[in-house]
Amino acid sequence: MTPRRYAVVPAILDGPLSRPLPLRCRRWTEETALRAMRFRTGGGELLVGPGTPSASLVAVGDISMHFVAEAASHTRPSRLFDGVAPVLRAADLRVGNLESVLTTERRRAALAGSFLRGAPELVEALTAAQFDAVTCANNHCLDFGPAALCESLDHLRRHGIQPCGVGSTDAQQRAPVFLSARGISVGMLGYADDCNVAPRWPIGPRPAETEDEAILADVRRLREQVDIVVLQLHWGYEWAMYPLRTHRDRARRFAEAGADIVLCHHAHVPMGVEAWKGSVIAHGLGNFLFGWRRPRSHPWRNRAHMLRVHFNADGVTSAEVIPCGTGRDHRVVTLQGVECREVLGAHQVLRRGLRDDAYLARLEADRIVRETQGLVLRLGRFAVAGDAGRVQELALHLGTPRQRALVGALRSGEFDGGPDLALFLDRVACARQDWASAVAVGREAAAEPITGLLRRLTAGRHLRGEPVGRVP
């Protein structure tokens, strides 16, 4: 495919004709754009630093066991990782993000959202794949409450899998796990910027939050104790193949502070991987094990990266992106042929896009407008309906790092109506402990002047017909 012909795809996706396209047609154009990635050349290898490697680590993205009862009709849970077992077993260490708690508890801890859990015995699937450590700092870790999270942590530890990123105290949440690979010491930290169930209880485990100064201090402290520092960050928004510009910059800052391997997740689709000043940063690894689903939410919901990192006692020497995917039998396999070429071709485009400051900034501005609009509209709808529980849950979520960053961006003055909307959301957050007050404030979201502020916000240059950043 020539560059001239290839240019037709982004013109269809982002041109003026894209705005009136119905969603089903947008899905088709997105899939077409991703299929066109097979014509992009390039592999998945990255040279990171000098030296000869002496050990390796394989990192994977989101792991959830919520679908396994359905999968059992297709394949035994212990066989879910057979298709990628050679890659996993060839490495000295294996790490990932465990996004479903392993618990017998079935009572959900909140009203709204999706809730992920797996039966406790499914931990054996992780041990069969020889996982050494996982981060549990993610938005689903409290889906079934603090007792369920404690149960899940106990199952992991009893099977020799070290969890990080959660705890009952600040020190426990931020404590690293320590690993060893061929005599090289490795430490891993985990953090999250959101939690589906904003904790209402005074005690019990919760995820470590993505507070930059705390992360920098933890990375620098761990840097003095181990040869290799692994940092796991569960942040951002779903179904975007590019990170927010601020997230890219923050990940680079953590790398400069001493994190050799920075692993990001939550988007559920693969993003670019870059070498940065002697470190490797994976901005998104996608769904490693999440169960096969029809790709309505995103064409590549069932595709992901494994990242194989080679290192020695002095640091990372190289890294390699290994495309993988989930089949209809729910098993994870390494991709071959055309599918592999598509993922590697997309990675080349995504990797170059990480250097486009203006584009990433525009994506972030679009995201801020869109998320604010969705939050305020949901708040007004729940409040008018008298749904005090969901109103309070939204108010509680305003205290998480992701929503605090959203309100901070509105307050910056870059967005028309943003500062006044930030003041309104501050008032909602202050009312979170009183259901009646939260509903009373929330009703303002469905009336003037808040609706007028939303019209001003969404009439600006940022918001587009459909979400951007979903394809390279």
User: What confidence tier does 259 reach under pLDDT thresholds 50, 70, 90?
Assistant: very high
Cβ-contact 264, 281 below 8 angstroms: yes
- For strands 93-98 and 55-63, give the pairing: parallel
Q: Is 151 left (phi over 0), alpha (psi -120 to 50) or beta?
A: alpha
Q: List all residues 6 or more positions away from 468 whose beta carbon is below 8 Å from its beta carbon.
A: 14, 362, 363, 366
pLDDT tens by residue, 395-405: 999 999 999 99
pLDDT tens by residue, 327-375: 998 999 999 999 999 999 999 999 999 999 999 999 999 999 999 999 9
In this predicted structure, what is the pLDDT of residue 69?
67
- For strands 117-118 and 101-102, give the pairing: parallel
Q: Is the pLDDT of residue 11 over 90?
A: no
Q: Is 120 left (phi over 0), alpha (psi -120 to 50) or beta?
A: alpha
In this predicted structure, what is the pLDDT of residue 21?
57
Q: Give the global pTM.
A: 0.94
Q: Is the pLDDT of residue 18 over 90?
A: no
In this predicted structure, what is the pLDDT of residue 465?
53
Q: Is the pLDDT of residue 74 over 70?
A: no
Q: Is the pLDDT of residue 447 over 60?
A: yes
d(CA 262, CA 279): 8
Q: Is the pLDDT of residue 5 over 70?
A: no
Percentage of residues in the chain having pLDDT higher than 70: 92
Cβ-contact 415, 353 below 8 angstroms: no
The mean pLDDT of 449-459, rounded to a whole number, is: 94
pLDDT tens by residue, 196-222: 998 878 888 999 999 999 999 999 999
- Which residues sit opposite 57 in a β-bridge? 93, 309
Sign of CA pseudo-dihedral 240, 242, 244, 247? positive
- Cα 299 to Cα 7, 24, 241, 464: the distances in Å are 20, 12, 11, 20
Q: Tell me, letter by letter, the H, E, C secondary structure of the chain.
A: CCHHHHCHHHHHHHCHHHCCCCHHHHHHHHHHHHHHHHHCCCCCEEECCCCCCCEEEEEEEEECCCCHHHHCCCCCHHHCCCECHHHHHHCCEEEEEECCEECCCCCCCCCCCCCCEECHHHHHHHHHCCCCEEECCCCCCCCCCHHHHHHHHHHHHHCCCEEECEECCHHHHCCCEEEEECCEEEEEEEEECCCCCCCCCCCCCEECECCHHHHHHHHHHHHCCCCEEEEEEECCCCCCCCCCHHHHHHHHHHHHHCCCEEEEECCCCECCEEEECCEEEECCEEEEECCCCCCCCCCCCCEEEEEEEEEECCEEEEEEEEEEEECCCCCEEECCHHHHHHHHHHHHHHHHHCCCHHHHHHHHHHHHHHHHHHHHHHHHHHHHCCCHHHHHHHHHHCCCHHHHHHHHHHHCCCCCCHHHHHHHHHHHHHCCCCHHHHHHHHHHHHCCCHHHHHHHHHCCCCCCCCCCCCCC
Structure tokens at 392: 């309070």
In this predicted structure, what is the pLDDT of residue 8?
46
In this predicted structure, what is the pLDDT of residue 200?
79
In this predicted structure, what is the pLDDT of residue 67?
86
Q: List all residues 6 or more positions away from 179 whose beta carbon is below 8 Å from its beta carbon.
A: 93, 132, 133, 162, 185, 186, 187, 188
Q: Tell me, letter by letter, the H, E, C secondary structure of 380-396.
A: HHHHHCCCHHHHHHHHH
Half-sphere CA count of 76, side-chain side, radius 13 A:
7
Q: Is the pLDDT of residue 12 over 50?
A: no
The mean pLDDT of 409-413, rounded to a whole number, is: 96
In this predicted structure, what is the pLDDT of residue 72?
55
Sign of CA pseudo-dihedral 187, 192, 197, 201? positive
Mean pLDDT, the chain, whole residue set? 92
d(CA 444, CA 376): 10
| Residue, of 12 and 259, whose pLDDT is higher | 259
Q: List all residues 6 or more positions away from 226 whose beta carbon is below 8 Å from its beta carbon.
A: 176, 178, 185, 186, 187
Report the interhelical angle of 450-458 vs 418-430 (nearest 10°): 130
d(CA 286, CA 296): 16
